[in-house]
Amino acid sequence: MKLELKGKALRGNLRVPSDKSISHRAIMLGSLNRGEVVVRNFLRSEDCLNTLKAFVELGVDISDNGDEILIKGKGKYSLKEPFNVIDLGNSGTSIRLISGILAGQPFYSVLTGDQYLRRRPMDRIAIPLREMGALIYGRESGKFPPLTILGRRPLNGINYKSPKASAQVKSAVLLAGLYTDEPVSVTEPAKSRDHTERMLSAFGVDVKIDGLTVSLGENRELSADLEIDVPADISSAAFFMVGAAITPNSEVTLRDVILNPTRTGILDVMKRMGVNLRIENVRQIGGEEVGDITVSYSPELKATVIEGEEIPRLIDELPVLALLATQAEGETVIKDAAELRVKESDRVKSTVENLKAIGALAEELPDGMVIRGKCKLKGGKVSSYGDHRIAMTFAIASLIAEEAVEIDDTECVATSYPGFFDDLRNLLE
């Protein structure tokens, strides 16, 4: 796709698609629940639809009337052995969280995905789940999908010190922990997104939080009739927030955006860099704080350092924040983000290579990158590397590039944001 948008501004307001992390969890926990769950504003993107399909294959009664999703759950012991290999497409969250659930099922299942997912490391979940008693096999001595899981019931308890601040690892262990009465806890080096803990509590499971440790208490049954209304995804809003900040004459309001503090690192960084940003109409939707975020053109941006405990709070927004950094005064440094290298693409490489290809100055670090500010972007050919967030980041770059930005494969945006290019066009003025 060739985008030549220089001279246009982004103006208007938009409710970006719903949160991907919460949509996945609504299906997963709704499937383990005994009771009826209605999911409103479910994200119908490829990743979340793959999760939905997986639970249908595991025998759960899920229907989609086009508006709401209805899950008639029969409890955590009701899943059935799947008749076929379960294909989770591009979705890391699906394969890792579902592995946690399947670890506690006394049957055989095989999980696979697309060529990108089959290159993503699974030992991070396989190690604790094996310690809990599940048998998990995969390519290259168990590290990569396809994964074969032979679950066990009951599993062993675990007090897991996770080497990474990863919500996927934490969630996989907590979900497996539903299948044991022994003590289960996960301690992280920094706090990752907490949607699993919040939603388990909403379903009635005893969850205790003590600093960086989450543990399961006595009640591990999910039993509630719930309505889950999924707020807008801050990771999708990020593209238009950055677009408005870097493009003259722009002002965009993003409505109903999730403001859970484990997700709002991007807002802290944007404020620090001097972005004109305001948050209004703060309220609760589906147990999460949400608000309307307005961002306008911000000509006086300053470079910053993004590191340490802030990283898990904005991990998925780093490619688009790197684009923002090209317009700031000074050199922005991103470190402690080695995890970026094992996302849907190696996002250190894909971001830096593409920034260079359109005329920015950026360099890779083993665990991050350095971006030179006040760069005039020229435009040119970039690759999405099959990664939705890279495709969307460089579509936004075209707003300020002198010439066209040509992105090779943009179909991957359907992973999280199928209507992205329509929404972009509708905001152009």
User: Per the annotation, where are the binding residues?
Assistant: 20-21, 25, 92, 120, 166, 168, 316, 343, 347, 389
Nearer residue to ligand S3P within complex by CB, 21 or 185: 21
The window from 145-153, 160-168, 267-275, 398-406 that contacts ligand S3P (CB under 6 A) reads 160-168
> From the list 194, 292, 310, 316, which residue makes contact with ligand S3P (rule: CB under 6 A)?
316
How many other CB atoms are found less than 10 A from the CB of residue 218?
8
Spell out where 19-123 has E strands. 34-40, 61-64, 69-74, 86-87, 108-112
The answer to whether 167 contacts ligand S3P (rule: CB under 6 A) is: yes
Nearer residue to ligand S3P within complex by CB, 50 or 192: 192
Tokens 């307001």 correspond to: 13
Q: Contact at 8 Å (CB) between 9 and 429?
A: yes
Tokens 């972009």 correspond to: 424
Tell me how far, at minimum, the Cβ of 167 lies from ligand S3P, in Å. 3
Alpha-carbon distance of 168 to 62, in angstroms, equals 23
Of 114, 292, 316, 387, the catalytic one is 316
Instruction: State which H helix or E strand residue 96 sits in.
Output: helix 92-102
With a CB cutoff of 8 Å and minimum separation 6, the contacts of 78 are 59, 60
> From the list 166, 247, 354, 393, which residue makes contact with ligand S3P (rule: CB under 6 A)?
166
Q: Contact at 8 Å (CB) between 317 and 266?
A: yes
Spell out where 22-134 has E strands. 34-40, 61-64, 69-74, 86-87, 108-112
3-state secondary structure of 410: coil
Q: How far is CA 299 from the centre of its chain?
A: 29
The answer to whether 387 contacts ligand S3P (rule: CB under 6 A) is: no
Residue type, 65: N
With a CB cutoff of 8 Å and minimum separation 6, the contacts of 276 are 245, 295, 296, 297, 298
The answer to whether 315 contacts ligand S3P (rule: CB under 6 A) is: yes
The window from 53-61, 162-170, 373-381, 420-428 that contacts ligand S3P (CB under 6 A) reads 162-170
Tell me how far, at minimum, the Cβ of 97 lies from ligand S3P, in Å. 7
The window from 58-66, 166-174, 222-230, 299-307 that contacts ligand S3P (CB under 6 A) reads 166-174
The answer to whether 215 contacts ligand S3P (rule: CB under 6 A) is: no
Binding characters for ligand S3P, 318-357, by CB under 6 A (x = yes): ---------------------x------------------
Identify whether 229 is a catalytic site residue.
no
The window from 71-79, 113-121, 161-169, 202-210 that contacts ligand S3P (CB under 6 A) reads 161-169
Tokens 């539903």 correspond to: 178
Binding-site members for phosphoenolpyruvate are 20, 92, 120, 168, 347, 389
Q: Which residues bind ligand S3P (CB under 6 A)?
A: 21, 93, 166-168, 171, 192-193, 315-316, 339
Q: Which residues are catalytic?
A: 316
